[in-house]
Structures are given as structure tokens and as C-alpha cells.
Amino acid sequence: MKKWFILTIMLCMLAPYKAFADVAVGEMIVTLGENLTPEQKNTLLAEMKAPQDVQTITVSNAEEHEYLGSYISKALIGTKAISSSAVTFEQAGTGLKVESKNINWVTDEMYINALATAGVKDATIYVTAPIPVSGTAALTGIIKAYEVSSDKVIPEDVKQAANEEMVTTAKLGDEIGTEQAAALMTKIKEEMAANKPETPEELRTIIDSAAQDLNITLTEEQVQNLQDLFNKLKELNIDWNAVGDQLTKAKEKLDVFLESEEGKSFIDKIKEGFANLIEAIKALFQ
């Protein structure tokens, strides 16, 4: 009786200290850039609608350079960490949803794709900054927050791959359009989840097929960059079915894009280009 009484008291004392692995649905964790002023921090916390007792994690500029230094210039990363994020955990099967403010290079769908690659699951994520920024550094904070809250360690090579994917997609977006680049990455991952490629030739077929389905014309260099990236991802221990499950919102955005005026206009322009080419050929023979 005495032993059970002592054990009960100990359990009661430990109860408030819930393990991070038991994170509850609706629970939020916030990442804040190390170089934010106190006023900026308060403004962003209010913007995120963060509760008073929200757990916060600081992200440093050194961490940004650690994960991004191999893929983009030091100038683009900058010398201050200011971008921040709020991660709210959702029910299993919900997938990933991202909304951003003052982020001018990385799109919401690019975050979703990179986070799915890293193994982040079932969360609503809000990325923000007090001034317009590229948004590349936010991924570091989100992954860090997910690790702390879920008590799961994401392998370093997977983190690096997710950051490389985000930058590769953003650079491709500069060349073919951000919507098109994000849609292409979603489509490729969807195909990889359905039929995991075993050879470089099979991977090339998936990339070519995805681009063709979206009426996107890629240069040989762009195809090679995608092959290099996905070959690297293919070698990692990534569950592509789980990745596909997390891309629900990105897939929805892809469908909306293809049905939108911008998407239809993009496809119409390609059709018009082919029509003009045919007319030019006819004119030569005439």
C-alpha cells in the first residue's frame, strides 16, 4: 500500500511535464528569428494568434548558413535571422498546409513539398517576417520545431535534401514560373509515390512525363538538375507513399492552377505557339 501511494504521488508530480512526443492536436509551437527586436517578436506573436504560454524556439543565422550555404549565396541568406513560423499540429491524415506573409521567393507549395520530403506530417504552418524576405531560412525553423514537438530526429542528410529541394524549385521558378515549378515538383513526387523509379532512365521518364502532362518545356540543364536532386532523394530512406499523403494541399493547388485563368492561359499560349509554328511551316511550302 505504501509503495503504491508513493508511486501515485510521483505520477501526479510528473503529469504536468508532458512529453513532446504526446503533442496534442491543435497545439502550437513557434519559431522566432534570433535577430528580431522585442517589438517585432510581440507583433509576430500577435499576428500568429499564439497563446500566452506558447513554446518558442530561436533560430540563428548560423543555422541558416549551415543548411543553406551549399545551395545559395551568402548574400541571399543574409546576416540576420528574422523569418519566423507557427506550427500547429493537426489530426493524422490531414496533410500539410502552409500560408505565408512577406515571403517573396519561396511559395507555399514549395514549403509543402520540402517539408513532406523531410518527413514533417499533418500540420498547419504559418510563415512570416516583419519585412519582405526570400523565405529560404524558414524551413530550418519549421523542421527544428517539428523535431522538438514530435520528439523525432530527422536525419541530417534528409534535412539537407529538403533544403536543396526548396532552393532548386525556387530557382526553377525564376526560369519557368513559380506556379509551374511547384506544380512540376508535386507531379513528380506523385508519380514517384505511385511507381518508385529503380534506374536513372525510369526517373528521367517520370520527369519528362510530368513536364509533358503539365505542358512545361524544360531545357536539358533543368532536367539534369531535377535528375540530380531526385537521384539524391531516391537514395535516402524516404517513404514516398507518406510523402504523397502529405501533398494533399499542394495537389489541390495544382488542380486549381490548371483550372485557373493563369493556368489555362499558360496552356493556351503553348497551344498557340504550336499553331503558329504549323502556320509558319505551311507558309514555307506555299
User: 223: which residues sit within 8 A by CB, 6+ positions away?
Assistant: 204, 207, 208, 211
Determine how β-strand 123-128 pairs with β-strand 96-100.
parallel
Quickly state the pLDDT bin for 95 (edges 50, 70, 90): very high
pLDDT band at 247 (very low <50, low <70, confident <90, very high): confident
pTM of the predicted protein model: 0.79
Q: What's the pLDDT tens digit per position in 116-167? A: 999 999 999 999 999 999 998 899 999 999 999 988 899 999 999 999 999 9
Grouping H, G, I as helix, E, B as strand and the rest as coil, residue 89 is strand
Question: Using 50, 70 and 90 to split pLDDT, how confident is the model at 21?
Answer: very low
How much is the CA Rg of the chain, to the nearest whole Å? 22
Q: What's the pLDDT band for 31 if we cut at 50, 70, 90?
A: very high
User: What is the domain partition of the chain in residue ranges?
Assistant: 27-158, 177-269
Q: For residue 84, is pLDDT > 70?
A: yes
C-alpha cell at 56: 518558442
Q: What is the arithmetic mean of pLDDT over 1-9?
A: 40
- pLDDT, one tens digit per residue, over 159-178 is 999 999 999 999 999 999 99
d(CA 44, CA 59): 15
Strand-pair category, 84-89 with 28-33: antiparallel
Question: What distance in Å separates the CA atoms of residue 157 and residue 140, rounded to the nearest whole number?
Answer: 13
